[in-house]
Amino acid sequence: MESNFILHYFLYYFLLSLNYKLIKLYRLLTLFYSFDGNYHTDEVHRFLSHSLLPTPYSLLPTPYSLLPTHS
């Protein structure tokens, strides 16, 4: 039963990450051309450097964040 829970956990995050990647790809493709057909490199660069959607991997704790901090 525990392995079933782990399988569902990873499957959920895999599908969630795939959903975020599809949303980012759609937003990136719609930023390439505006409705007048002009190419906007500054909007594409802004999209790539500052994405509004966090990936699910950024929500998960990393091994480095689980280490105790030395104060």
pLDDT digits over 12-30, tens only? 878 777 777 777 777 776 6
Q: What global pTM score does this model have? A: 0.33
Residue 21 is assigned to a structural domain of this protein: yes
- Across the range 32-58, mean pLDDT stands at 55
| Within-domain flag for 49 | yes
Tell me: pLDDT of 55 over 70: no
Q: How many domains is the chain built from?
A: 1
Tell me what the mean pLDDT of segment 51-60 comes to. Answer: 53
* Owning domain of residue 45: 2-65
Residue bearing the bigger pLDDT, 4 or 45? 4
Which has the closest alpha carbon to 13: 62, 66, 58, 49? 58
Residue 71 lies in a domain: no
Task: Note the pLDDT of residue 31.
Answer: 64
Q: Among candidates 64, 29, 63, 62, which has minimal Cα distance to 47?
A: 29
